[in-house]
Structure 1
Amino acid sequence: MAELVEGVAAGVPFVAVPPVDPAAPAALVAGWHLMDAPAGERAMAEAVPMAGLQAWRVYFGLPLSGARLPEGGSDEVFRRASEDAVLNVFEPVTEQAAGEFPAALAELRDRLPGATGPLGVFGGSAGAIVALEVLARGDAEIAAAAVASPVVQLAPMIAANERRFGLTYAWSERSRAVAARYDYVNRAAELTAPLLLVVGADDDVAVRQPAVALHEKLGSELVTVDGMAHEFPPGTPGAAGVDAAFTGWFARRLRD
């Protein structure tokens, strides 16, 4: 991998990888990691480097992760999630990350040499919710988007986590409203850029079925990675499959 540029843009930690030709104008591809592996901006850069693109690849750190973990660290995040995953984790992470994106993007356009070309966004799992929310809000002109292990509908994902952790989530009127807001099958009309969905063949049905539903509603591209569950840590076949799909997609879609 090319040498990483590491820093903070408008308060958001990031790592960035320069384009193949640093002297030429470049696209900018920005995205967000998973809460599972790869669970940080550097790990996401290692798992999905998208080498060969004439684009700056920017990997943002999510709120409540990495340098922005609360006091008590990951144990505190897990405690909050156990108390109310929707209202204490998914909503604040998504709202903060989507809300801070325009200012971070504007700063990076100025700071990264040649980053004047078209914009793509990407994400994995919880980071995919952020990418979809950014796309739906329309605060930036986005030429293409790609999401892997995507949480396309939040409610089924909460049910999957109930099975995973042996918990029962107590839905409230407010949390149901949040889940309705993060239902991108119902909000498909707001997703106006070309979208790639990448799912693991072995992922939970709570991820696979909504992704297929969104694919059918939008006519978007859907890629299934054999042997991949939800996570795709660096160096695994799953990561290689996601990287190949993202690289090919953005290479086609982000040409000037």
Structure 2
Amino acid sequence: MHSPITGTAAGVPFTALPPADGGAAPLIVTWHMLDAPRSNAAFAAALPMNGLPAWRVHLGMPMCGARMVDGSMDAGLELIREDVLMSFLYAFVKQAFEEFPAALAAVRAQLPVGDGPVGVLGGSLGGAVALRVLAETDVPIFAGAVVNAAIRMRSVVDLFPGEYPYDAESSKAVDSLDFVPKADAIAGHAPLLVVSGEQDHPALRADAISLAEKLGDRSELLSIPELAHPLADEPGIEPAPQSPLARAVDVGLTTWFRRHLADVT
């Protein structure tokens, strides 16, 4: 097994895991959670998808991992206190989504991944980035997957204390990150695996089921018994041994992507 490769793609830090032979192969791009594992390196350790005949390139979310301010998540926590939606949740998804085209081009220039269709994967808030890519871009994608994803951003906002003071701008922003109404666009782009922990937040669990049902035969719902929202123990910044529950998710993702890679290799 090859060691992870670390680098930067158009300013976005990444952790790349090569295929077994280390050579040319298709590409799967991921965006990590903001719960544990909350860095590209930690997400790569939790969900390595080893054995896939593909490069897995785990991109860093804003202000996480190598982009933490002064080596901590304190600046991100301050943004939550400032405005959990507009300064934090919406802003992070927007930045990660807008960084993707240049980061993808830079990854293609640095690694032997070719210019064919890619796979996309996102966990929690990173799931909203993957879903935006599926719903709103024409990037060729052979398959997508999300894990305990932020499928309806209002559900995520409701997890934070207090009643959020929506106005016209924030209502428009939060509704733009509701992917159940965008199911037709997602289904038209690529098949999607929806992974949901049976012990995830009830609203997020319900959203996962709703999205899978709306996608119909273009989707599969993989329920993981006993899995809550995180995939790793705190603090979740550095790579850690894969937990048994993360292993169950990893097996499901590996099986899913291997099936659809057969169409592009």
Per the normalisation by structure 2, the TM-score is 0.90
Aligned to 1:243: 250
Aligned to 2:2: 2
- Retained in 2: the 8 A contact 1:197–1:211? yes
Aligned ranges 1:192-231 → 2 under 5 Å? 192-219=189-216, 220-231=219-230
**Does the alignment pair 1:170 with 2:165?**
yes
RMSD of equivalent CA atoms: 1.6
Give the letter aligned to residue 164 of structure 2.
Y
Q: 1:104/1:72 Cα in 2 relative to 1: closer, same or farther (>3 Å)?
A: closer
Aligned to 2:238: none
Give secondary structure in 1 for the equivalent of 2:190: coil
Shift in Å at residue 213 of structure 1? 0.7
- Measure, in 2, the Cα distance between the counterparts of 1:129 and 1:8: 22
- Retained in 2: the 8 A contact 1:32–1:124? yes
Shift in Å at residue 104 of structure 1? 1.1
Give the letter aligned to residue 182 of structure 1.
L
Worse-matched range after superposition: 13-22 or 170-179: 170-179
Shift in Å at residue 86 of structure 1? 0.8
Shift in Å at residue 85 of structure 1? 1.0
- Measure, in 2, the Cα distance between the counterparts of 1:185 and 1:148: 15
Aligned to 2:78: 79
Q: Deviations over 1:51-93 (max 9, x none)?
A: 0001000000001212223468422211211221110011111
Give the letter aligned to residue 179 of structure 2.
Y
Per the normalisation by structure 1, the TM-score is 0.93
Q: Percentage identity across aligned positions?
A: 42
- Measure, in 1, the Cα distance between the counterparts of 2:250 and 2:118: 18
Shift in Å at residue 116 of structure 1? 4.6
Aligned to 2:22: 22
- Measure, in 2, the Cα distance between the counterparts of 1:68 and 1:245: 30
- Measure, in 1, the Cα distance between the counterparts of 2:87 and 2:15: 26
Aligned to 1:190: 185
- Measure, in 1, the Cα distance between the counterparts of 2:18 and 2:114: 9
Q: 1:158/1:218 Cα in 2 relative to 1: closer, same or farther (>3 Å)?
A: same
